[in-house]
Structure 1
């Protein structure tokens, strides 16, 4: 299927690793020009060069902190200048949560992930409005649908609510806004968490991963590339029927029914 992304221009925050990098790769492979955004300048530029060589697409790396107004404004200006405009925004940047992260880090999570997403939307959607076409995909997480982490649930529920508000506001202007909820995904940070759990419990990493996978209906953890495939579709013109909606990309949580 041709996703009709050739010639489109995308910004992916949190784009130097994990799901963000996989999304950048998927969009570049479909012919989009991509700006990867991350806080580490050297790291994101290196990853951009890697994707450009791999896909033949125009891929640039831009250092920015989505928790800072001025940094986001400068990033938007650089991305628009480098790509000639931005049609697609994938909000993925977040402060890393570990098993040691407490609820006292809620404000950090809200500032970087929730306010950060909104900063990027405000900086990059004016051009989409002018052209009467755009896509915004907000990466949240299945903690929005389950207990276990007050901070994780609050930040992801907030993103879902923000998504629906933006969809109603921007939809009539040709911009679709959706939220993707990954579950446990085999990213670098997830595998590190598995190692930590294994060391703390005296079990092997394989046993710990199997425990996580037991709650997934496909029987294994989802790979970053598989989440990226969902995001690439949502970024395409073919996804016009989806606006304001939440898409679960966790391999299927057993038991729960969402409608």
Structure 2
């Protein structure tokens, strides 16, 4: 394992990282400048169209209902074009920032690690951990870092697991009203590592000061103490076979 120290990072920042940040900042400013110019042009064109529709409505004896749809379409079209302009102009900046800045820091810390901004820990791995037995209806994430640290395969990313809830209420007239909302099961950094040890039983480690997650596994297993006092002060260990876990 070749983890870098603080002094090495300072040297890396001075010689390579700071010049890179200056270069990418120029890309950001150029993207912002181009976006502002194109947005102003877009606002002018759609503003002129909106004024034309507004003034033309005075010539009509009665404004038809579909005419208001033109107002909505004009506004929606303007927002869509502006959104597209910003995304396209900043695409190069975002790509270089992810690959060279974030990815560069990750590779500096450990050359065997890789960074993938759009990927995240698979849902299958999330469920296999058995840390959360609640139903999950929506699962998203980003910023996957994965690779080897020493001889250990690791991966971690931001994940957001949610379940859908539905409330059904009746008003005083007896009418039914349904409200759908999302409840967060877990949101944060989810870490997966090869423990380099085979277990025939099931073992779960949890931070001792962490939030207790309701899980039927914990009710059918025992909180055990290992031989290392320092480890016991940091983690709770649950196992279906305490002897094997030790």
**If the length of structure 1 is used for normalisation, what is the TM-score?**
0.20
Q: Look at both structures and tell me which one has the larger radius of gyration over its CA atoms.
A: 2
User: Highest relative contact order (Cα 8 Å, sep 6+), 1 or 2?
Assistant: 1
User: Would you tell me which structure has more strand in proportion to its own residues?
Assistant: 2
**If the length of structure 2 is used for normalisation, what is the TM-score?**
0.21
User: Would you tell me which structure has more helix in proportion to its own residues?
Assistant: 1
